[in-house]
Amino acid sequence: MYPLELQKLIETFKKLPGVGNKTAERYALLVLDMEPGEVEDFSNALIEAKTKIHGCSICGNYTNHDLCDICEDSSRDASVICVVSSPRDILSIEKINQFNGRYHVLGGLISTVNNVMPDDLEVDGLLRRIDSQVKEIILAFSPTMEGETTALYLSKKLDPNIVVSGLAQGLPMGGQLEYADEMTLIRSFENRKKV
Amino acid sequence: MYPLELQKLIETFKKLPGVGNKTAERYALLVLDMEPGEVEDFSNALIEAKTKIHGCSICGNYTNHDLCDICEDSSRDASVICVVSSPRDILSIEKINQFNGRYHVLGGLISTVNNVMPDDLEVDGLLRRIDSQVKEIILAFSPTMEGETTALYLSKKLDPNIVVSGLAQGLPMGGQLEYADEMTLIRSFENRKKV
């Protein structure tokens, strides 16, 4: 129904996560309403991001240099490494302003369903980074089957002299106890703290 | 926090309708995960659509030729013109397969709030198209203040010998009577039909 180039643009937008036909249509039609210069900027922004952004050669965080801002920042504590699945987790953690150590991006989590094995992840890179300076490794994974499998695997691989910790599990802030799933409630009992 | 090029791509995605920070971030991060060729295709699709797609010289529908597919299709009934606000309304109407006439895109609706005056719309183009062949004009606007104002304005401008009709108003299919707004309920009483 739509002319070829418009249909193609709609199909392209549908590759974005969570974008169906209707939304892709709205996006494409907005592009047609943009000024030509704006569309050119959009087009260039895609290419620029893809060509200039890559993984930090130490931790795997996104950067346009050799090292990311965090690895270059000498004020960050080198004795704690927070291991995450993807660079976007780094952003979430940086936003809370609670952690001043370094990061390491695994590039995924072990998953038998998606056929992701330890060899597919940046495990060797992590092990190589661990020197006498490192005192603690925080495994900051989502509390899913994949996250727990990966945490278990890494905890066995890591030097037993290093403290290996994981993020606390329990009721989320503002959540209703009656709506918590069983597993969350079980964990919140197991990990109960003295008030 | 994010490197410059990534931040810029996120800002770019935020120009799309209904896209906030979180969604733009997801889109941008997906782009980084795409193959370089895919990103190039994305970038080209934007430019291609913007440069090749324009309004049909008769009706204003999107086309990559001089005339759109509908205006070129001689099997379409030239005696009925369906006037719409934007080309995307044409797609909605084409999907229901009920209308076999021609279209005319106004390029908006009269709106005092948004300062859209009749001169900003393709009214003259519509009046010029009306010849002895045309028997009916269907004003297919959304039942809003703007839609009704535009319909009133056009109905006064059009030749009184031509039938001018508007889309029916009433309860939407599957809608609950108790949740219908007052105006919809009023219209559904006014326009009640013998069963």
Domain of residue B33, CATH code: 1.10.8.420
| Residue B195: predicted pLDDT | 81
B31–chain A Cβ distance below 8 A for any pair: yes
Q: Give the gap in angstroms from C-alpha A30 to the nearest C-alpha of chain B.
A: 7
User: What is the β-pairing status of strands B54-55 and B62-63?
Assistant: antiparallel
Are both A43 and A85 inside the same structural domain?
no
Q: ∠B24-B26-B31 over CA atoms, to 5°?
A: 95
Are both A46 and A123 inside the same structural domain?
no
| Residue A176: predicted pLDDT | 85
Rounded Cα distance, B176 and B191, in Å: 18
Are both A72 and A162 inside the same structural domain?
yes
Rounded Cα distance, A83 and B97, in Å: 56
Distances from the Cα of B26 to the Cαs of A17, A105, A108, B9, B15, in angstroms? Answer: 7, 17, 16, 11, 14
Report if residue B57 sits inside a domain.
Answer: no
ipTM over cut 0.95: no
Position B180 pLDDT exceeds 90:
no
CA of A51: which chain B residue's CA is closest? B36
Contact B16 A30 (CB under 8 A): yes
Identify the domain boundary among A12, A29, A52.
A52
Distances from the Cα of A25 to the Cαs of A7, B66, B82, B100, in angstroms? Answer: 9, 22, 22, 23
Contact A64 B12 (CB under 8 A): no
Are both B28 and B103 inside the same structural domain?
no
Contact B49 A17 (CB under 8 A): no
Whether A56 and A63 have beta carbons less than 8 Å apart is answered as yes
Average predicted confidence (pLDDT) for chain B: 92
Region B14-26 average pLDDT: 94
Position B1 pLDDT exceeds 90:
no
Are both B73 and B150 inside the same structural domain?
yes
pTM, two decimal places: 0.76
| Residue B136: predicted pLDDT | 94
Are both A48 and A66 inside the same structural domain?
no
Position B176 pLDDT exceeds 90:
no
| Residue B193: predicted pLDDT | 81
**CATH number of the domain that residue A189 is part of:** 3.40.1360.10
Report if residue B176 sits inside a domain.
Answer: yes
Q: How many structural domains does chain A have?
A: 2
Report if residue B35 sits inside a domain.
Answer: yes
Whether B39 and B30 have beta carbons less than 8 Å apart is answered as no
Report if residue A57 sits inside a domain.
Answer: no
Contact B50 A28 (CB under 8 A): no
Contact A88 B46 (CB under 8 A): no
Are both B122 and B187 inside the same structural domain?
yes
| Residue B174: predicted pLDDT | 84
Rounded Cα distance, A169 and A148, in Å: 12
The number of residues in chain A equals: 195
Put simply, the chain A residues between 54 and 93 with a CB less than 8 A from any chain B CB are: 62-65, 68-69, 87-88, 91
Are both B156 and B78 inside the same structural domain?
yes
| Residue B127: predicted pLDDT | 94
* Amino acid sitting at position B17: P
| Residue A178: predicted pLDDT | 84
Report if residue B111 sits inside a domain.
Answer: yes
Domain that holds residue A118: 62-194
Contact A50 B34 (CB under 8 A): yes
Are both A83 and A147 inside the same structural domain?
yes
For residue A85, list chain B residues with Cβ-Cβ distance below 8 A.
none
A20–chain B Cβ distance below 8 A for any pair: no
Identify the domain boundary among B33, B52, B71.
B52
* Amino acid sitting at position B106: L
Are both B30 and B81 inside the same structural domain?
no
Are both A26 and A105 inside the same structural domain?
no
Are both B78 and B26 inside the same structural domain?
no
B45–chain A Cβ distance below 8 A for any pair: yes
For residue B52, list chain A residues with Cβ-Cβ distance below 8 A.
3, 5
- Residue whose tokens read 């992590």: A126
Chain segment B48-87, per-residue pLDDT in tens? 999 999 999 999 999 999 999 999 999 999 999 999 999 9
Q: Given CA atoms B57, B63, B68, B70 in this order, what sign does their dihedral have? A: negative
Q: How many CB pairs under 8 A join A and B?
A: 142
A181: alpha, beta or left? (left if phi > 0; alpha if psi -120 to 50): beta
Report if residue A159 sits inside a domain.
Answer: yes
Region B183-187 average pLDDT: 85
* pLDDT range class, residue B158, cuts 50, 70, 90: very high
Rounded Cα distance, B88 and A19, in Å: 18
Rounded Cα distance, B186 and B160, in Å: 28
Rounded Cα distance, B39 and B5, in Å: 14
Q: Which residues does chain A have with pLDDT short of 50?
A: none
